[in-house]
Structure 1
Amino acid sequence: MKLVIYQTSDLHGFVYPTNYVTEQSLGILKIGTYILKDEKNYDAALKIDCGDLVQGSALTHYLSKQKLDTNPITELMEDIGYDAYILGNHEFNYGLDYLNTAYKDISNKIINANIKGLAFDSKPYRIFDINGFKVGCIGFTTSFIPNWEQEKNIEGLEFLNPVEVYGKYEQELKEKSDIIVVCYHGGFEKSIDGNNTPTEKLTKENQASELLETYDSIDIVLSGHQHRSFITRINGVICTQPMHNGQNFSKIVIDTETKESSYELVNVSLLKDEINKELEKRFIETNKELQKYLDKEIGHFKNDIILDNIFTARLKGHQFINFLHDVQLDVSNADFSALSLFDTAIGFKKNVSIRDVLINYPYPNTLKVLKIKGSKVKEAIEKSVTYFVLENNEVKINNEFLVPKVQNYNYDTFAGLTYEIDLNRDFGDRVISMKKDGKEIDLNKDYTIVLNNYRASNTAIYPAYENAEVVKEINMDMSELIIDYFQRNKEVDVPSESSYIIKY
């Protein structure tokens, strides 16, 4: 018997093949169309989604504002015939009510071994009996969620260590299964070349490598969360992780008699079939209403502030970056602002719609204001500018921000001060000056800094913020804050001067 396993992860609510500005090769409808046709080539199929499904696009933002009894995205996945779901960390971003609405009708398909306290029943593992061949699937979600998520969005929940929890169920899975599949919304914290060399700080955010080091009973790891793109064997175990937004997905074919297997990542850009009309039906009316909502004009810039080159913008500054800082400083009244420029950002034309805001800021980040010493501001800036390295007098991105996954979002710019950087100097000693209102910043003085909740909480990346006092929490999504800013300032004139100079 030939069994095919299809795995998606980090779809982030991308249903149509578009980012709502241009057509793109991605999305659930393209993937679903392929799966429904391709599965007919095999004796049986398993379809598994590994999380971050109902958050992250203009569509999911729109849906989060509606009073829905069910979520059309999970309904679409059911139309495709998914067998199992894992919760991702971003499933919690819109709050527990939204999560419960999205998953309550399919809670019997959620595999969840390490989150305690959910409002619906879920199983730690499921045994799929396929004509006598038994596939044991156990589900985990990264236990690092409390380090990022707002408390109100995870109230009453406990996130257990996946490595410890697997040990609790290992013997049962071995006894009941012909193969064991770990379905994990988390990634690999060590190299995937079999050498298990750490590739990030071992914070327990990603524990797939630790699972494989600890147990020899696992046959397949279906992972997610890191937005990487690979499928390989690690010491004999098939390990895979698709790209985000449905740019590709995993396909594993197993001969249940010989236990031989083949695998691939299916590239959505190569799928040429027209979208299945039956699948699309569920979204036709929703998409029409979404387009009206996205096209609503909310304000104006004095001039276009288009991002032509994101790398150059990060290096030299840009009006778009200045605008985001202005919004953060305006709402927080903090001394300083820190933020990253997302890879999805494209900038704004003069006339601004809700669509423009959500394309440029698709994540439901909220803001926190921290109290830190001037010395910690310098430490944060020094950490940020390790992003750039000089090679033959040419500025390039430090490989540590590119491997094993692209982490451009870990480069921050700062405002509310002016600062000067010299890339010819060693890491940790690149800041030449930091001034506020023309005066050098006192390294021993307390200041306030506004930054998004992810950066404020994930101090493994920016230890300068560790144990900092939280002065204020602004519990409104950044996209909503931008929209509100336009409603209060109908025509916005953004200064063109950057707050920083980087010499090289």
Structure 2
Amino acid sequence: MKLVIYQTSDLHGFVYPTNYVTEQSLGILKIGSYILEDEKKYDVSLKIDCGDLVQGSALTHYLSKKDIDSNPIVELLKDINYDAYVLGNHEFNYGLDYLTTAYKSISNKIINANITGLPFESKPYRIFDINGFKIGCIGFTTSFIPNWEQEKNIKDLEFLNPVEMYGKYEKELKEQSDMIIVCYHGGFEKSIDGKNIPTEKLTKENQASELLEKYDSIDIVLSGHQHRSFITKLNGIICAQPMHNGQNFTKIVIDTETKESTYELVDVSKLNNKINSDLEKRFTKINEELQEYLDKEIGHFKNDIILDNIFKARLEGHPFINFLHEVQLEVSNADFSALSLFDTAIGFKKNVSIRDVLINYPYPNTLKVLKVKGSKIKEAIEKAATYFVLENNEIKINEEFLVPKVQNYNYDTFAGLSYEVDLNKEFYDRVISMKKDDENLDLNKDYTIVLNNYRASNTAIYPAYENAEVVKEINMDMSELIIDYFQRHREVDIPDGSCYKFKY
């Protein structure tokens, strides 16, 4: 008997094959339409989503503002007949009420072995009996969520260690299953080349490698969260992770008699199938409403501030970066601002719509203001300065920000001061000048800095902020703050200059 397993992860609410600026080869409609036809070639199918489903796109932002009885994105996966769901860390971004509304209709299919206190039903694992061949699917979510998420969004929840929780259920899984699949919204913290070398700081954010080191009962790991895009075998165990936004998905075919298998990541750009009209009709009205909402004009720039070259913008500065800093500084009244430039950012033309804001800032980040010493500001800038390296007099991105996954979002720029960095110097000794109001920054003085809630809370990358006093929390999404900024400043003129300079 031939069993086919389909896995999606980190779909982030991308339903249509578009980022709402241009058509792109991605999205749930393309994937679901393919699966409904492709599964007919096999005796039985198993469909699993590994989280970060209902947040991350212009559509999810729009839905979060509506009073809805059920989430149409989850309902779409029901139409595709998904068998199991894992919660991702971004599922919590809009709060527990929104999460409950989204998942209550399929809560009996949620596999969750390490989050306690959820306001709806879930099971640690499910056993799928396929004509006598039993597959045990256990679900985990990264336990690192309290390091990022606003406390109000995870009130009374506890995120337990997935490695320890697998040990709790291993015996009964082995007794009831012919094959065990770990479905994990988390990734691999060590290399997947067989050498098992740490590829990141071992904070317990990603623990798939640790799971495989400790237990020999796992047959397949379906992972997510890191947006890495790979499928391989590690010591005979199939390990997969699809790309984000539905750019590809996992397909594994198993002969249940011989246990032989084939596996691949299916590239959505290579699919020629038409979108299933029955699936699409669920979104016809919503999409019309969304397009009207996105096209609403909210303000104007004096000039276009288009991002033609993101690498150059990060290196030399850009009016778009200046604008984001201006929004953060004005709403916070902080001395300094820190932020990263997202890979999805495209900049703004003169006339700005809500669509433009959400394309450039699709994440529901809020802001925090921290009190830190001037020495800590320098430490943070020194960390950011490790993003660039000099090779044969050419500036490149430090491989640590590219492997095992691209982490451009971990490079921050700073505003409210002017600073100069010498790339010829060693890491953490590169900042040669920091001035505020034309005076050298006092390393012993207390200052305030505004940054998004993820950077303020997850200090593994920027330890300069560890244990810093929180002076203020601004609990409004950054995209809403940008929209509000335009309501107060209909005509916006942003300077071209940069407050930082790299010497090389």
Fold agreement, TM-score > 0.5: yes
Residue 474 of structure 1: CA displacement? 0.3
Post-superposition CA distance 1:11-35 (Å, at most 9, x none): 0000000000000000000000100
Q: Distance in 2 between matches of 1:483 and 1:503?
A: 36
Instruction: Give 3-state SS (helix, strand or coil) of 1:231's partner.
Output: strand
Question: Residue by residue, what CA displacement relative to the aligned partner does 1:19-78 show, whole Å, maximum 9, x if unpaired?
Answer: 000000000000001000000000000000000000000000000000000000000000
Shift of 1:194: 1.4
- SS of residue matched to 1:281: helix
User: Match of 1:247?
Assistant: 247
What is the rounded CA distance, in whole Å, between the counterparts of 1:131 and 1:170 in structure 2?
23
Partner residue, 1:6: 6
SS at match of 1:300: strand
* Cα deviation, residue 156, structure 1: 0.7
Q: Which residue of 2 aligns with 1:23?
A: 23
SS in 1 for 2:111: coil
Q: Distance in 2 between matches of 1:467 and 1:237?
A: 40
Give the structure 2 partner of residue 351 of structure 1.
351
Where 1:37 maps in the other structure, the secondary structure is helix
CA distance in 2, matches of 1:131, 1:453: 49
- 1:110 paired residue number: 110
d(CA) in 1 for partners of 2:27, 2:318: 31
What are the Cα deviations for residues 422-441 of structure 1, in whole angstroms up to 9, with x where unaligned?
A: 10111011101000000000
The offset of 1:273, in angstroms, is 1.2
Aligned partner of 1:470 in structure 2 is: 470
Distance 1:458 1:272 in 2: 41
Q: Counterpart amino acid of 1:316?
A: E
Aligned equivalents of 1:334, 1:236: Cα separation in 2 = 53
What is the aligned partner in structure 1 of residue 408 from structure 2?
Answer: 408
- Map Cα deviations across residues 361-410 of structure 1 (whole Å, 9 max, x no partner): 00000000000000000000000010000010000000000000000000
Partner residue of 2:280?
A: 280
Equivalent residue runs for 1:46-445 within 5 Å: 46-445=46-445
Equivalent-residue separation in structure 1 for 2:468 and 2:314 (angstroms): 26
AA of the residue aligned to 2:267: N
Tell me, in whole angstroms, the C-alpha distance in 2 between the residues paired with 1:273 and 1:127: 32
Alpha-carbon distance between aligned partners in 1 of 2:69 and 2:459, rounded to the nearest angstrom: 37
Match for residue 482 of structure 2? 482
Distance 1:114 1:497 in 2: 49
Distance 2:11 2:272 in 1: 20
% identity of equivalent residues: 85
Give SS of 2:7's match: strand
| TM-score between the two structures when normalised by the length of structure 1 | 1.00
| Alignment match, 1:451 | 451
In 1, the alpha carbon distance for the partners of 2:236 and 2:360 equals 41
Q: What displacement does 1:269 show?
A: 0.1
Structure 1 residue matching 2:129: 3-state secondary structure: strand
Q: Deviations over 1:156-176 (max 9, x none)?
A: 100000000000000000000
Q: Give the 3-state SS of the residue equivalent to 2:386 in structure 1.
A: helix
Q: CA deviation at 1:195?
A: 1.4
- How far, CA to CA, are the matches of 2:244 and 2:279 in structure 1? 21
Q: Which secondary structure does the structure 1 equivalent of 2:34 belong to?
A: helix
Structure 2: 5+ residue stretches without partners: none
Secondary structure in 1 matching 2:113: coil
Runs of 4+ deviating beyond 6 Å: none
Cα deviation for residue 503 of structure 1 reads 1.1
What TM-score, normalized by structure 2, do the two folds share? 1.00
Letter in 1 for 2:383: K
CA distance in 2, matches of 1:459, 1:118: 26
Gaps of 5+ in 1: none
Cα offsets for 1:229-255 (capped at 9, x unmatched): 100001111000000000000000000
Cα distance in 2 for partners of 1:195, 1:137 equals 27
Please tell me the residue identity of whatever aligns with 2:216.
D
Q: Which amino acid aligns with 2:296?
A: K
Matches of 2:323 and 2:424, distance apart in 1: 29
Instruction: Describe the SS at the equivalent of 1:480.
Output: helix
Whole-angstrom CA distance in 1 between matches of 2:159 and 2:425? 42
Distance 1:147 1:501 in 2: 32
RMSD: 0.4
Query: Structure 2: how far apart are the matches of 1:77 and 1:419?
Result: 49
What is the CA distance between 1:496 and its match in structure 2?
1.0
